[in-house]
A = this chain, B = another copy of it.
Amino acid sequence: MDHTLAIDPDRFRRSFEEYSAIGATDDDGLHRLTLTDEDAEVRDLFVSDLESLGLDVTVDEMGNVFGRREGADPDADPVLIGSHLDSQPKGGRFDGQLGVLVALETMRALEDAGIETDRPVEIVNWTNEEGSRFESPMLGSGVFVGNTPLQDAYDLTDDDGVRLEDALERIGYKGDASCEPRPLHAALELHIEQGPYLEEHGNGVGVVEGVYGMAWLQATIHGHADHAGPTPMHTRTDALTAAAKAIREVESLPLRLSEDAVATVGRIDVEPDSINVIPSRAEFTIDVRSYDDDVVDRAIDEAEFEVATAADRAGGEYDLEQIWRIPHTEFAPSVADAAAAAAESVDAAYERMVSGAGHDAKYLNEITDTAMLFVPSADGNTHNEAEFTSWEDCVTGARTFAETTLRLTTD
């Protein structure tokens, strides 16, 4: 097979700018939390773009939006391409959105070239990939593959107590189509790397062969609220200083466990949160990851030990809850090989790698052959407004993506 699918970089760029304007921040970032007004607006644009292409648009019960382009074989299973349009709070313009837009440009390029693929191609925008408004990431794809019950997803609430189902209804994206596994031939997602390696190695494309295993823990240290003045240091049970000790130890865990492990405390809250009161309660999250599931398990155990030790030395108590755990993923070699061959065919410098971040593709891999493409992140920067991928890298990624898609639909 030697054809290539010609994308239109100018049109791709125009769409990128148009989509980036919805929820744009003053500092060139994107604040487009799932199921907000901004998310509704970008979904409307997406649906309109799909309809302009003559695609058959479906919205499922989770608000996942699909656009289907039929192939020559009416009985063939479709190839699914896409990513997510929601963003982190004050996040960047590339995370998620770029993966949807390379899929959109691929659909447009197929139409331009008048290609009838053997298999159908479906483009998708997944709901609540980020998990920052409703704290369960990759939720739309998680329900789709049968990992999360629909009702559990519906019952999630944001910090203001809004239920996810109500948020879906409010913006008119609680669809009728069933959100459940169905036969797919393959799935492909392009994403920014969100790490430093492609840039460091001078490669424009990463062929992603797997994803780290991950766990999220919620730790609470219980101390005793007392007045910051008359309470001597030695009689205190300070939940925050204990938490600070645990946080320092959690930071040092990866060094002790493996070369690839990472550990992060991203949230912390104290009570009563008063400047002159010793904190009676400190609640914080722990995120641990490695490609080795045993390392993640050990990290969970050691994190609990450190939280327990810190609480105990302060004279307090603790709780530790595992709120999310997902083993490492090995993507389908067939799809990764197609992506590598596509990279070669468009002369992209590429490397094979694994991902430290979770992606919808990780869930898709549970029901179909899946892999991913990465493009470089300048300075490894992500989840903030300065997130950046050069336009040249975006175009190289789009060319590789379109070509991979074509190969998956026809080989």
Contact = CB atoms under 8 A, between A and B. Distances in A.
A219 to B, nearest CB: 12
Given A233-B254, A356-B231, A357-B227, A266 B276 contact: yes
A262 B244 contact: no
Contacts of A247: 240-241, 244
Name the prevailing secondary structure of the A interface residues: loop
Contacts of A356: 227, 229-231
Identical chains bound together, number = 2
A275 B285 contact: yes
A384 interface: yes
Interface string A219-248: 000001111111111010010110111011
A381 interface: yes
Contacts of A274: 88-89, 132, 266-267, 383
A212 interface: yes
Interface string A173-201: 00000000000000000000111100000
B248 A276 contact: no
Contacts of A6: none
A275 B233 contact: no
A382 interface: yes
Contacts of A278: 264, 266, 383
A264 B270 CA distance: 13
Nearest to A323: B275
A289 B254 contact: no
Residue from A214, A229, A255, A266 having most chain B Cβ neighbours under 10 A = A229
A367 interface: no
Nearest to A279: B266
Contact of A90 (B132, B137, B226, B272): B272
Interface in A362-399: 377, 380-384
B275 A231 contact: no
B196 A228 contact: no
B241 A383 contact: no
Interface in A259-281: 262-270, 272-280
A232 B262 CA distance: 7
A90 B224 CA distance: 13
A131 interface: yes
A210 interface: no
A355 interface: yes
Given A267-B275, A384-B280, A195 B230 contact: yes
A380 B231 contact: yes
A384 B276 CA distance: 12
A257 to B, nearest CB: 11
Given A266-B277, A266-B279, A383-B272, A231 B194 contact: yes
Nearest to A133: B274
Contacts of A244: 243-245, 247-248, 251, 265
A337 B273 CA distance: 38
Contacts of A289: 228-229
A287 interface: yes
Given A270-B267, A276-B287, A233 B255 contact: yes
The 10 A-B residue pairs with the shortest CB-CB distance, nearest first, are A195-B230, A229-B356, A228-B264, A230-B356, A229-B357, A225-B384, A244-B244, A244-B247, A194-B230, A194-B227
16 contacts: A89-B274, A225-B384, A226-B382, A228-B264, A229-B358, A230-B377, A231-B356, A233-B254, A266-B279, A267-B274, A269-B269, A272-B383, A272-B384, A277-B383, A277-B384, A278-B383
Given A266-B274, A267-B275, 11 more contacts: A132-B277, A195-B227, A196-B232, A216-B275, A227-B383, A244-B247, A245-B248, A248-B248, A265-B279, A266-B275, A266-B276
